[in-house]
Structure 1
Amino acid sequence: MKSKQPFVYQKRKKRKPDEENRKVDAGVVDKFIHRQPVEEHTEENVEEHIEEHVEENIKEQEHVEVEETEEHEPVKELVDIYDLKALYTRTLSNLEKCDRVWIVYLNELDRVFCFCCKVFRKRISKGKLDGEGFADWHHVTTRVKKHEISLDHLTNRNKWFDMRKRLNLNKTIDKVQHEQFKKERDYWKQVLLRIIAVVKFLAKHNLAFRGSNDKLYKKVIINCNGNFFGVIEMLEEFDLIIKEHVQRITSEGLHVHYLGHLIQKELISLLDEDIKKELIKEIKKTKYYSIKLDCTPNLNHQEHMNIIVRYLKLSYNFVPIEESFFGFLNVDDTSGKGLFDITLEELNSLGLQINDMPGHGYDNGENMKGKHQGVKKRFLDINPRAFYTPCGCHSLNLTLSDMANKCVKGKNFFGFIQHIYTIFANSTKRWEILKDNVKAWSLKSLCQTRWGSRFESVKAIKLQHVDVQKALLQVGEKENDVAIASEATSPAEKELSDFEFLVSTVVWYEVLNHVNIESKKLKSKDMHLDNAIIEINKLIGYFKDYRETGFSKAIVEAKEIFIEMGIDQIFPQKRLIERKKRFDESSSSEEVSFTPEENFRGIEDKDLKLYCHRLEKALKFDERSDIDAEELCTELKLFETLETIEFSNPVDV
């Protein structure tokens, strides 16, 4: 049986190499550390002194930390409150202090590293300082002191200092490559700065970026390369950086040029994100904000909703009200719930709270301001303090729209205004005839959404009535197409020579002029709610006064114009249709009829009562009548306030 225990001479053989290696490494540190002549065993005494000093510091530190943690926190939290400042300073034996510039603390990992050993280490890591990092905070002081006197650390530190010195003197082995790298880096930096400036310029002035092709100096006129490449080509004539960049692209066939449409989109999105971040910071400083919403379809018939945020901008001297546009939102569901969900999602993405929104405003659509399912109702369910304000200009627009659409003469009047514009606009030759006769104000097409802007269309006809008539007559004479010639001559001889049409022009000119003025006031930036109420009340008062006195003034003004034209100032009178009388009906029964002026103006209260009594008298026989004049007058007044558009025939009434 062989013994499992090694013999004594075998143990001695294993111990000899370790002792020899220890003797060889004993004087290695002397190459880097200058030792002063001291008594024998000084090194051992110093090491013992350092170890004792470290142990005392650790004990004192642990004692202080334990006392603090007994009062406040458990002992497990000692690692988090360890002071790292002591590690960055080394105290020598002569009490001289020097900085440990090689120590690096990584906050994400909560570990300490040796920078020079981490970078310049060639061998396998012997300690955590030059590897995965040291995190044993109770022994970190001892470990750092042992590491900073090790041979590997001193060698790596010398390499680091030498490299830093050569980098400062620009005498590294890759000096030429480094210079080329810096030159190329600066070149691309300057190129990107100019490209970003072009993107900001086009976006600020609301100009399109791309054309039909994405190539520089495309000579085909039809296939334009767009505004972005146009600005780059213009800068190439004056800027040396862009000139060199364009030469690289055209001569060398450079593929990475940062001028493509994908780069343009990326730069726009990056700028958009930065602008939004800055705006959100400003909004959150004042906490409260309000929003405005509006929907409109684009050219592709895709419904878009824009969102505008109003807020106060803090300043020392003045606190202005700012409005910031946050973009268009794609809308697939135009119901109240669909619009509310999209708005709520956008506010959450911007980091804005609905509870901080004291106001919201939009148009008077049923899906927006509905009492049960509208966007307003859903916002008020979450924040009852959110004050809803309808769009004042849109309310005026609806008022004018209802005024014109419920009046047959009003609808016919605006239809004729648009017809005159269409006659001239459909041909360049006819438009030249118009410009030869009409010098001051050109004809304008009617706007279907903003009724206040129709003032410009009526203004051109009212102030240039004679000139427009002459232009239509010339079109009728010079036009070869018989149908178009008749279409131009007919309104010149009939409608423009009609006293009723001229009175309508004067009336609508005055009404639209006042509405247009008030609409512009309501859109002004310095308009406040109390001032808006005052202006609306003024407009209501104007309508009441004009209802009483405006018609007579319009008649006088229209007569003055017709005197200049040499035309009779009378309303056209339609042929009176007489009703056949029954055999038992007396000849004294009176027919109720109105004058042409009354037909145009409408019936006032006193006239309505008079006509009701006349009708009662006409239907009276043997002191009995089928109606009561007073009751009929009251019912007709009440009937005026109803939605008469629902009644299409007498049976419905």
Structure 2
Amino acid sequence: MRNGEKIARSWLMYSESTDCVMCFCCCLFRDRDKITQLSGDGFNNWKNVAAHLKQHERSTEHITNMQTWHALLHKLQTNTAIDQVNQDLIAFEVNRWKEILKRLLAIVNHLAERNLAFRGHSEKLFESGNGNFLGQVELMAQFDPVMQDHLRQIQKKEISDSYFSKDIQNELISLVAKCTTDAVVERIKRAKYYAVIMDCTPDLSHKEQLSVVLRIVNCELSKGVSVHEHFVGFLQAHDTTGKGLCESFLGHLEKLDLDLSNCRGQSYDNGSNMQGKKQGVQKRVLELNSKALCVPCGSHTLNLVIGDAAKSSLTSISFVGLLQRLYTLFSSSVHRWTILREHVKDLSVKALSTTRWECRVEAVKAVRYQLPEILKALTALMEYAKEKRDAEVVSTAGSIYQEMKRWPFLVSTIVWYNVLFQINKASKILQSPKVSVETIRNEITAVTDFLQDFRECGFNSAKTDAREIAERIEVEMNWPEVHQRTKKKTV
């Protein structure tokens, strides 16, 4: 108004699909012979909208329709309408569908939290293989009268809409995901500052996916200070270069309505597209926000150091290759695995992790503490293979048996177990989302001191432990001779 006061036009409504404004009461109670733009298709002449609205709200038709609307609204609120019975039926039906949707949302949350598939081979109720979603609906109907009545109406075809279709399921999943993402974004905005953690991983469909995690410090009076990491989405990376990944990340931040200027940290793996100092993601983000300092992933860096160190020694490569051959031999057949379990009771042989070197401590641990039992299992396997006349298994088991009864293998087992045990302990702490910088520093310092001490006196200690095992399995404690090639002198 001219005096600055604002009065809400409760009768005015806006249509996003047509980009027009309309009069609510005139659309309901209009005279068919006197249809205007506000009571028909809508008015979108924005330059003259103010004058047109003033003229409309002063018209006789609008005032009459407003009176009719308010009279009807009063009757509906006081339950005195002429069709009150129908209104009660409508309210009952609305409430019934709300209760059904509450139960369907509860099922969606239950399956999503446990990462379970929703659909099966069939999309019909009370058929085998109809999936977890319909199975949960059937289970709930056994005890819940609301869902039981809903299924009864569906079976008798009293209603055509069941809200069980795959499209409705996907829509409910999307709505729950949006509410979850909105809650996470709201928490990030309250914390204001955040750090980003990203990594690329190919999925089962051979598409590169960029996972985005935001790390914040949450300060609450009741709970105190706590660190949280929130997953905010998978992004399909069509371009895996530093430029392409950075554009995908910035586009996702814009979609979440988050400001890059509030980013205070980055953490990626050691790939050149992420950590590159000239064209990597961290460099491009730093150019836009100099306060977003990049901290390499400590666990990933530690893993690369161990992997490079192991690959620099032929003995280490042969040692881990033998462990993988041992697992492959026994896991390739049910009968072979049964023979192994008959002799090895506590710790079973494990496959080697292809990406995480510190996780190989579990494979080394089984051999470290159960080598005599594993040798007995190999002997029993050779006897079983001879009965079956399986020459390949006899040859493979025999060669592994001979390699594992050598002094270098025993010492390598002790050395690698001691080293990987300490490194795996540090790696687990580095991966904890709630660990402090001081704790990480102390743990890394402890591992560094251990490796330095182990380099000086650890080998003799490993030989002492290996000697106890060698005496039990009767292994000669001598090193193989190293033959050096003699160069002929040319005249």
Query: Which TM-score band (shorter chain)?
Result: 0.7 to 0.9
Match of 1:168 in 2: 78
Match of 2:109 in 1: 200
Aligned 1:389-538 pairs, distance under 5 A? 389-479=295-385, 480=388, 481-492=390-401, 494-538=402-446
Are the counterparts in 2 of residues 120 and 160 from structure 1 also a CA contact under 8 Å? no
Cα 1:262/1:118, change in 2 over 3 Å = closer
Equivalents in 2 of 1:165, 1:367: separation in Å? Answer: 67
Equivalents in 2 of 1:126, 1:409: separation in Å? Answer: 91
1:159 positional shift: 9.8
Cα 1:104/1:370, change in 2 over 3 Å = closer
Match of 2:221 in 1: 316
Are the counterparts in 2 of residues 438 and 467 from structure 1 also a CA contact under 8 Å? yes
Question: Tell me, what secondary structure is at the counterpart of 2:235?
Answer: strand
- Is 2:89 the counterpart of 1:180? yes
Match of 1:630 in 2: none
For 2:360, give the aligned amino acid.
R
1:259 to 164, 172, 178: 164
1:108 positional shift: 7.3
Are the counterparts in 1 of residues 13 and 24 from structure 2 also a CA contact under 8 Å? no
For 1:282, give the aligned amino acid.
R
Are the counterparts in 1 of residues 411 and 466 from structure 2 also a CA contact under 8 Å? yes
- Is 2:476 the counterpart of 1:555? no
1:213 to 96, 114, 122: 122
Cα 1:129/1:268, change in 2 over 3 Å = closer
1:564 to 472, 480, 484: 472
Question: Tell me, what secondary structure is at the counterpart of 1:314?
Answer: strand
1:114 positional shift: 11
- Is 2:213 the counterpart of 1:300? no
Match of 1:591 in 2: none
Equivalents in 1 of 2:76, 2:247: separation in Å? Answer: 62
Equivalents in 2 of 1:334, 1:412: separation in Å? Answer: 35
For 1:259, give the aligned amino acid.
F
1:374 positional shift: 0.8
2:292 to 363, 369, 386: 386
Equivalents in 2 of 1:535, 1:159: separation in Å? Answer: 73
Question: Tell me, what secondary structure is at the counterpart of 1:319?
Answer: strand
For 1:556, give the aligned amino acid.
T
Give me the TM-score of the superposition, normalised by structure 1: 0.66
Question: Tell me, what secondary structure is at the counterpart of 2:78?
Answer: helix
2:2 to 71, 74, 79: 79
Equivalents in 2 of 1:352, 1:159: separation in Å? Answer: 43
Which deviations, in whole Å up to 9, do the C-alpha atoms of 1:308-337 show, x marking residues without a partner?
Answer: 001122311412111110111111221111
Match of 2:18 in 1: none
Cα 1:242/1:541, change in 2 over 3 Å = same
Are the counterparts in 2 of residues 121 and 156 from structure 1 also a CA contact under 8 Å? no
Which deviations, in whole Å up to 9, do the C-alpha atoms of 1:107-143 show, x marking residues without a partner?
Answer: 979x9x997x996676977999999999889x99xx9
1:540 to 448, 466, 472: 448
Match of 2:249 in 1: 343
1:236 positional shift: 1.7
For 1:449, give the aligned amino acid.
T
Equivalents in 2 of 1:498, 1:260: separation in Å? Answer: 64
1:83 positional shift: 6.9
Equivalents in 2 of 1:114, 1:365: separation in Å? Answer: 59
Give me the TM-score of the superposition, normalised by structure 2: 0.86
1:271 positional shift: 1.5
Match of 1:97 in 2: none
Match of 1:23 in 2: none
Question: Tell me, what secondary structure is at the counterpart of 1:440?
Answer: coil
Question: Tell me, what secondary structure is at the counterpart of 2:201?
Answer: strand
Q: Unpaired segments of 5 or more residues in structure 1?
A: 1-77, 86-102, 585-653
Q: CA RMSD in A?
A: 3.6
Query: Max radius of gyration: which structure?
Result: 1
Equivalents in 2 of 1:126, 1:378: separation in Å? Answer: 58
Are the counterparts in 1 of residues 194 and 214 from structure 2 also a CA contact under 8 Å? yes
Equivalents in 1 of 2:241, 2:269: separation in Å? Answer: 14
